[in-house]
Amino acid sequence: MDFATIFGFLAALFAVMNPIGAAPLFLSMTPDNSAAERAAMARTAALTATAILIVTVFAGRPILSFFGITIDSFRVAGGLIVLLMSISMLRAQASQIRGTAEEEEEGVAKDNPAVFPLAIPLLTGPGAISTTILWSGQTTSWMGLAGLCAVIVLLGVVVFAILRGASIVSRVMGVTGMNVMTRIMGLILASIAIEMIAAGLKVLLPHLAIAGE
């Protein structure tokens, strides 16, 4: 697995997880908590998300094989999920795929929303899990899998840092800045989703690839 593939996974997963967009949600779920309590929740959320995605790296392909799903079929399905998420991001709206309003309200009511709904499904929802399975399905070498795990750990650190400084991020960027960043990541994510869908369709429907040559 080359550097371009690793960087592509980093960009795609960061855009799907969208920790910058999760920052104001984290603040809304912890209005009465101290800075120390928020730091502990941010750490728990980041560790939980990291653990889930690392497990997905190794368990994703066997799960697909168990259900008889080819990686190309999953690439198209995952691409559609990511595309729907990107459309919501381009409109600066919360995607129902990541989590519903009811789940966010439940998170506000919980004493500790770090695991649910912050880590699951806001950070590691269907989009992040699909993206991880797709990239892990492209390699069978231990070095490649280790590279994916390294990216996930790096993003875990980034998620913790952003959530830990959520109040600063929200104050510096403001609503407009957050929306602009979300739209930029949505555009990147839409491009990645189209590539995923096209790559899957070329294998599933080879006559389309021949017709396009």
| pTM of the model as a whole | 0.82
Task: Answer for the pair 100, 25: CB distance below 8 angstroms, yes or no.
Answer: no
Reported as a single tens digit per residue, the pLDDT across 87-112 is: 888 887 766 655 555 655 655 555 67
| pLDDT reported for residue 155 | 97
What does the pLDDT read at residue 98? 56
Q: Which residues does 154 contact at the CB level (< 8 Å), separation at least 6?
A: 10
**146 to each of 54, 81, 191, how far by Cα in Å?**
10, 26, 26
Average pLDDT over every residue of 182-204: 87
Mean pLDDT (whole number) for 138-148:
88
Q: What is the pLDDT of residues 25-64, one digit of tens each?
A: 888 888 888 889 999 999 999 999 999 999 999 998 888 8
Tokens representing 169? 């991020």
Ordered DSSP codes for 103-162: HHHHHHHSS--IIIIIIIIIISSHHHHHHHHHHHTT--SHHHHHHHHHHHHHHHHHHHHH
Q: Cβ(151)–Cβ(13) under 8 Å?
A: yes
pLDDT band at residue 150 using 50, 70 and 90 as cut-offs: very high
In 3D space, the residue among 22, 4, 191 whose CA is nearest the CA of residue 118 turns out to be 22
Q: Considering the chain, what is the average pLDDT of its residues?
A: 85
Which residue carries 């880590």 as its tokens? 119
148 within 8 A of 57, measured Cβ to Cβ: yes
Peptide bond just before 24 cis, omega within 30 deg: no
User: Rounded distance, CA 48 to CA 116, Å?
Assistant: 10
Instruction: State how far the Cα of 111 lies from the Cα of 23, in Å rounded to an integer.
Output: 17
Percent of the chain with pLDDT over 70: 88
What is the pLDDT at residue 161?
96
